[in-house]
Structure 1
Amino acid sequence: MPNASDGPLLDDSLGRMVRPYTVSDGRTRPTSHFDLMTMVTATGAVPRRELGLDHSNVLVLCERPVTVAEIAAHMGLPATVIKVLLSDLVDCRAVATRAFDRARFGPNSTLDLDLLEAVRDGLLKLL
């Protein structure tokens, strides 16, 4: 088991050592509405209150437009937990959201189906 002073509580063989509900302070319901395809982008605004490391990591992922599903996959956390973290970031205006533009990804789009399948598989592992 890693020493807490060595960095994040991760173990290569066990994975994340902190329970997801701890990351969201026991909250299970976001204060904002998101679905898995909601697009999230950092606004550049500095949060007025101190947020945790997971909030900061989510904010870094939002430097470019990204979906809730992608954030959950990258963070290795359930989408529900990510939605709670994102709600905190929306509340302090650090991120903005918009609906996923499905029409933009028609038959001639550059949508990476391999990436979407990898995200789907990652999310299924979290269930």
Structure 2
Amino acid sequence: MPAPQDGPLLDDAAGRLIRPYTVSNGRTRPTAELDLLSLMMATGIEPDVPLGPEHAVALGLCEGPTSVAEIAAHLRLPAAITKILLSDLADCGAVIAHAPAFHDMPTDRSLLEAVLDGLRRQL
């Protein structure tokens, strides 16, 4: 997966040239419920509203299933801002989100006991 190239928004020496919350127009909450492990996938539908360059890069990263955390790392943006960008794309139908599989049974006792046993063996 290609990383975004340095351009008018990024500079190797100076870093990000605009503040992260400028990218989200000052919004601090996404409209969709996204987890860091949610997998985002492009639908092939072009957004019908004008979006910023970060939206375009995020959409390009969603050609295959990609986690919110991985997209945030590629964009070099905080996860909170990335979730807002991705929820914008989801609102216009350009991407869909798949919740992590473990959300079906987040408190599976046998899994938690296996993790605890593994940790005890390591100590």
TM-score range, shorter chain: 0.7 to 0.9
Aligned residues: 98
CA distance in 1, matches of 2:38, 2:23: 21
- Normalising to structure 2: TM-score of the pair? 0.75
Tell me the distance in 1 between the aligned counterparts of 2:11 and 2:90: 31
2:56: which partner in 1?
56
TM (norm. structure 1) is 0.73
Q: Which runs of 4+ in 1 moved over 3 A?
A: none
**Which is greater in Rg?**
2
How many angstroms apart in 2 are the aligned matches of 1:49 and 1:35?
A: 25
What is the CA distance between 1:8 and its match in structure 2? Answer: 1.8
What value does the CA root-mean-square deviation take over the aligned residues? 1.6
In the TM superposition, 1:81-100 aligns within 5 A as 81-100=81-100
Provide structure 2 residue ranges, at least 5 long, that are not aligned to the other structure.
1-6, 103-123
Structure 1 gaps, min length 5: 1-6, 103-127
Where in structure 2 are the equivalents of 1:1-127 lying within 5 Å?
7-102=7-102
The share of aligned pairs that are identical, in percent, is 57
Q: Which amino acid in structure 1 is aligned with residue 81 of structure 2?
A: V
